[in-house]
Structure 1
Amino acid sequence: MDSHRICVFSLITAACFGKTVFQSPGDLIKNQDKSAVIICTHNIAGYDRILWYKKDGMGFKFMGFLNLIYDNPELEFKNKIKLDGDGQKNDGTKNASLKILHLEASDSAMYYCAASLHSV
């Protein structure tokens, strides 16, 4: 039986006014039932959240966010993803990862991260 491959793509770099958000790797091809990990880093002082989005044929879906070290997946993705990072109370999250568990065909998509400042 042939194993099915899953393609996962991520935006490489986005920058605005010297503030940069970087994702790696640029693309992945993984076997079904395996996991895929995307890394997101940024250089924006004080930003304490990393938000994750999935873009497929149906459009953009908000997957969840990492606030400091606390992961907050959307209900739809609660058993599908794991969010992790290096959040510090004084400095926010600079490095984070999105792990997509138990890959299946519907996981073939573009994935994007964004850095954000939580404000009330």
Structure 2
Amino acid sequence: LKQILKQKLITNCVKFEQPPSLFAKEHDSVTIKCSHDDNSLLYMLWYQRKSDSTNMNFIGYRYISGDAVKEEGFKERFDLKRDGDVKGDLIISKLVSSDSAVYYCAAKEHSAAD
């Protein structure tokens, strides 16, 4: 079984919401939804933290338009979707036991360096 814990946090007065814990069987797919309340934050980023580590693995990000940009190791079974300015999904397909982790979403503004 895979467990993904609910995360609610407020950063710079922006409220983020993610779903409660999710459980799924190996080989299934799971969708983790995230939303925030600031439509100026046009990038949605996703991170993974496994229970045996304090490190966060950067999965990738998606702008409100265009394709997702994903790190090596997350390109095959991980997909990032956007639903407007403030909503996004992380979709993990063909689950394996090593996918068991806490997943975090974050958002950031567009900058000239992006």
TM above 0.5, yes or no, is: yes
Query: Matched residue of 2:98: which SS?
Result: helix
TM-score (normalised: structure 2):
0.87
Provide closer, same or farther for how the CA distance between residues 75 and 17 of structure 1 changes in structure 2, counting only shifts above 3 A.
closer
Write the distance in 1 (CA, Å) between the matches of 2:25 and 2:3: 9
Q: What is the Cα deviation at residue 51 of structure 1?
A: 0.3
- Residue number among 15, 37, 49 corresponding to 1:20 in the alignment: 15
How many residue pairs are counted as aligned between the two chains?
A: 109
Q: 1:52 aligns with which of 32, 40, 46?
A: 46
Q: 5+ unaligned residues in a row in structure 1: which ranges?
A: 88-92
Q: Which runs of 4+ in 1 moved over 6 A?
A: none
The one-letter code of the counterpart of 2:2 is: I
Q: Does 1:86 align with 2:83?
A: yes
Structure 2: gaps (5+ residues) = none
Match of 2:73 in 1: 76
- Which protein shows a greater Rg? 1
Among all aligned residue pairs of Structure 1 and Structure 2, give the percentage whose two residues are the same amino acid: 28
Question: Within 2, Cα distance between the matches of 1:7 and 1:100?
Answer: 13
The SS at the match of 1:106 is helix
Identify the residue that residue 64 of structure 1 maps to in structure 2.
60
* Alpha-carbon offset, residue 17 of structure 1: 4.6
Please give the alpha-carbon distance, in whole angstroms, between the structure 2 residues aligned to 1:45 and 1:6: 31
Query: Which residue number in structure 1 is paired with residue 5 of structure 2?
Result: 9
